Structure 1
Amino acid sequence: MDGSMSCLDKIILKDCDAPWNKGVYQEESKICVDVSSDFELYIATCAKSYVALSSSVEKAEMSLEMLTIEVIQSSISDDKPMGNYVEYFIENSIIRIQSIYDRVLIFVNRLLGLGLSDECIGHNIIVTNDNVKRYSLEKKLRNLNKAFSDYKNIRNTIIHHDRYSDDGLDLLGALHYVEFSAKANGKETIFSEEKLSEITKDVISDIKIELLNYLEKIKEKLEEVYELSALIYCHRKNILKQLENSN
């Protein structure tokens, strides 16, 4: 993928049969498109869920682009230690990356017309579905899910229980807290600002590289899901088009 156009961009978003090709209009603050058949509804539904998925990947990439000491320093205030901000930016990247899989499952639900509500969708429900198996998506999804395994428990910990813990990050947070407290009480700091900034930059860089490599592996498996999804989309769309033409 690497910033290039996915195969689904052309097949779904630029579909010549898409209802928005007939025109888009505005009602009050809403942008509207007329959908006049199940055929058009399928295209619109797939497009909406695919855009949400594609956007989640881009937001994960953006969060990692922003994971720099320069961006973090521009965000800090005087009443909180910088270590809190470093931790926040790292946790945001992890959550953004891990949330991609949720969007994948929602997209598959729409692609195959499984009729599940978003609240009911989960990995086991999707991969054990007969239609998912019928279209050979089960293995692709299981492989993709494995690619998300490194930070799965960490993401759940951040959201439900605690904070992201890493030896280097924990030590960095302690150093920043000590320096913050010393400044607040008018005492001499242990490190110069330049030295602490250098240490911080190295810790951020190591974690960022690890997360970038992690995301790239995910995107490789995601592209495999996209390639099969493109075939499924065309097949199901043609079936609905034939039904529409026969009526």
Structure 2
Amino acid sequence: MPAIRTAHVALWVAYAVLVAVHVGSLLTDAELLQRITQPMFAPLLIAVVLTAVPRRTRTSVLMVLGLLFAWAGDTLAGLASQSGQLIAVLSFLAALVCYSAALAPLWNRSRDPLRIALAIPYGGVVIGLFVACADGAGPMLPAVAAYAVALATMAFLSAGGNGMTWTGGTLFLLSSSMLAMDWFLPGASIAYSGVWVMMTYTVGHALLIAGMVRTLPARRWTSRAPAAALVIVEN
């Protein structure tokens, strides 16, 4: 196995271990460990992308930009203040816009009717959740509305990529929905909601990135050596 592919696989393993450690910290209420591990998700996924793409493309640039915004959101999501929550929402909103821009060409090339039909209810889920959380959002309502639209758009477009992007987009939608209920709908009670939010978010994010990487035409470990040519010399 080429060294770059070994590094790529090792990064995925490191990501899985990090997720397990973070979930364990949630179950044991280890707040310091939670704050240390959560901002490390996006940098590992950025390294995953960079070890896979052989050259800079529109899709890879949008993935990295989306992950940088997600890193900002992960870093600020733990803040209890409303201003911290607002910046986190805006950061994830920017990430969703980047992912949607990366997914749009894939959706245009492979419009699977079944996936599209199954993706249509996403809009209904987001609208219903937004209506339920509107009162609790307060001054953050415009940002939450924009985020809801971006979330539904990304989830819908993810259905047009492949099975991994579709599953990742759906889990991302589920994670954000549960997080919105935690933040803006205090009456809603989901057992271990923090654990479920992070499990669906980390797995969904990973599948979304892995699915977009899979759509790229080449990998860094793909041999690009020219094929040997048979030359016959006549005397």
| Class of the TM-score when normalised by the shorter of the 2 chains | 0.3 to 0.5
Larger radius of gyration: 1
Higher helix share: 2
Q: TM-score, normalised by structure 2?
A: 0.40
TM-score by length of 1: 0.39
Report 1 or 2 for greater relative contact order, CA contacts < 8 Å, sequence distance ≥ 6.
Answer: 1
